Amino acid sequence: MKALLVVGLFLFLTGCASGEHISLVANSYQQSLVRDGVPTLISTEKQVVMLRPATSTMRRGDRPKFVVAVYNRSKRPMELRVSDVTASQSGPQRTAIHVYSYDELVAEVRRKQAWAAVGVALSGAAGAINAANAGYTTTYGTYSSGPYSGTYSATTYDAGRAYAAQSINNAETAENFAAIQAQGQQRLGELQNNILKDNTVLPGEWIGGIVVLDRPAKGADDVARYEIDVRFGDEVHSFTVNQARSS
């Protein structure tokens, strides 16, 4: 995946609703840039590592997502592994922030897909019961004959009406199952195309992708401060991130 593709990977994310703002703090060997309103850091030593948020703002409570890309300036192939991208928070004790692997994100999508399918099945079963009962019609009335009067009820069953209701319920259930399948496949395709995976980076090549972090803890000032470290070759490039509520 080349550099020009990497910098546009954030487009697969759904929405960029306001809520929290991510800013990056450059150190002495990093250059701070802004592209399309999104802050970007270029870290240059023997090798080059780029980090940028997937979006400059994110919905409050969402997991932070970052584009990580490396450029191999050496004359030999080098390995970029997802396990070489780590995140942590400083405090009384340094706390690791989980970086999700591609396989973990795929498993999460499949779990959500399975639970959604269970919900559709339960809804379809309830709809089937209602459809079967739709064939019954109960009428109520009163009568008066001489000294006698009262109320009555009568129940009739219309098989055609019940069949029509069942057909509608079956069609809606099938449509819901198809929608879950389509949405799951779309999400899996987005993960396949965009999430960072292990790669051999050839000399003169850019490689990158999106990494997803667990939600960091906020301080008393409602700001999360953390670092993302990218090990590439014998270098570790550290990036400082501040995540706060948008003003």
User: Could you report the per-residue pLDDT of 205-235, keeping only the tens digit for each?
Assistant: 999 999 999 998 887 788 889 999 999 999 9
CA atoms of 158 and 68, how far apart (whole Å): 64
How much is the average pLDDT of 168-183? Answer: 78
Q: Which domains, and CATH codes, for the chain?
A: 3-105+195-245 (2.60.40), 106-189 (no CATH)
For β-strands 85-89 and 235-245, DSSP reports them as unpaired
* pLDDT for residue 7: 40
CA atoms of 81 and 198, how far apart (whole Å): 4
Whether 60 contacts 223, CB under 8 Å: no
* Strand-pair partners of 212: 65, 100
Question: CB under 8 Å to 44, separation ≥6 — which residues?
Answer: 29, 30, 31
User: Could you report the per-residue pLDDT of 42-76, keeping only the tens digit for each?
Assistant: 999 999 999 999 877 788 888 999 999 999 999 99
* pLDDT for residue 213: 94
* pLDDT for residue 199: 93
CA atoms of 56 and 38, how far apart (whole Å): 5
CA atoms of 101 and 84, how far apart (whole Å): 11
* Strand-pair partners of 53: 66
R_g of the chain computed on alpha carbons? 29
Whether 46 contacts 233, CB under 8 Å: yes
User: Could you report the per-residue pLDDT of 93-125, keeping only the tens digit for each?
Assistant: 789 999 999 899 888 888 888 887 777 677 777
Of residues 208, 194, 243, 219, the one with CA closest to residue 87: 243
Secondary structure string (H, E, C) spanning 55-100: CCEECCCCCCEEEEEEECCCCCCEEECHHHEEEEECCCCCEEECEE
Question: CB under 8 Å to 3, separation ≥6 — which residues?
Answer: 50, 69, 71, 206, 208
pTM: 0.72
Q: Is the pLDDT of residue 129 over 50?
A: yes
